[in-house]
Homo-oligomer: A and B are copies of this chain.
Amino acid sequence: MKPAKKAASRVGLSPGTILHTGKRKVGKARITLIDYDESHVEERELERIEEAFPYRDEGSVTWVNIDGLHQTEIIEAIGEHYGLHPLVLEDLVNTGQRPKVEEYEGYVFIVLRMVTYDPGTHDIEDEQVSLILGKNFVISFQEREGDIFDPVRERIRNEKGRLRRSGADYLAYALMDAIVDHYFVILEGLGEMIESVEEELVTNPTVQTLQVIHTLKREMIGLRRSVWPLREILSRLQRGESPLFQQATLVYLRDVYDHTIQVIDTVESLRDMVTGMLDTYLSSISNRMNEVMKVLTIIATIFIPLSFIAGLYGMNFVNIPELQLPWGYFMALMFMAGVAVLMLLYFRWRRWL
């Protein structure tokens, strides 16, 4: 989540320059095409993007999905064929964009961020997913291959599904829905993570726990940054500002919008929990420390008067009557024991022990 770095390498370039700034995430871009209407489905894996162009003019809905953005010639070919604005092409490959929606003549450009969570390293990575929605086509771009759109493909294959009977706008909705839904999976993982850290906090907090908490906090902030603009986008889309989205689809967009609000709520809840954990950690560490210091101080406090008594009878005065008593030593020992016991009882009474 360091957009600064990515973008810095672009400084001074002319706008519209197509230079991929993300890491090269796959070997070769993978292009898949699904063309469907109520009566047929055609799924193909394409070698060259140009094979997709003839589908454009048919009445059916065409969905082209591109995994991998480093082959800028593909992006350029798409840009030329579909008449995309140079800035759109730039944003497609410059993968540090904030989620946004931009309307152009004849198409809508939607940038979303998809998050993935690695439970091993507690790392949340996010990836840019862009959609181009045209009259009867959707082109989706991912930085690397993923299975996030598989349920949508499954629903297209299902002849009875609403997806088959609806237009490209509904497909775009379904893809956005898939991305938003994926946040719930991430949040669930994070929630479990947080619960296990909470348990650790109670049983055995270490410096590592603190670092995990700090990592979680930072990731919460990162997540928040990528979810809040999503809310804004969906709010705008569901108000029906774009003519490409039909009236009947708007209610579905409102549904995704509601989900986004839920995601935000959950992120905020988790953030509150993490903040609370930080407080708990600090106060538990300080409690432990205090406990240690208290016990040690009590030990010292008990022995200091005893040592004083011993010192007393170590004095070399010529006339110390007690020293001459045959049982003096044992009486002194018992006196010391008595002092120690009284102090312990006092400490216990004061609830210091």
Contact = CB atoms under 8 A, between A and B. Distances in A.
Given A308-B306, A315-B313, A87 B265 contact: no
A324 B315 contact: no
Contact of A297 (B150, B293, B306): B293
Bin chain A's interface residue count: 35 or more
Interface in A296-324: 296-301, 303-308, 310-324
B328 A324 contact: no
Contacts of A1: 269
Interface in A147-206: 150-151, 155, 161-163, 177-178, 181-182, 184-185, 187-188, 191
Interface string A253-265: 0110011011001
Nearest to A343: B299
How many copies of this chain sit in the oligomeric assembly? 5
Interface of A: 1-5, 7-8, 10-16, 85-87, 90-91, 96-98, 100, 102, 104, 150-151, 155, 161-163, 177-178, 181-182, 184-185, 187-188, 191, 207, 210, 214, 217-218, 221-222, 225, 251-252, 254-255, 258-259, 261-262, 265-266, 268-269, 272-273, 276, 278-280, 282-283, 285, 287, 289-290, 292-294, 296-301, 303-308, 310-329, 332-333, 350, 352
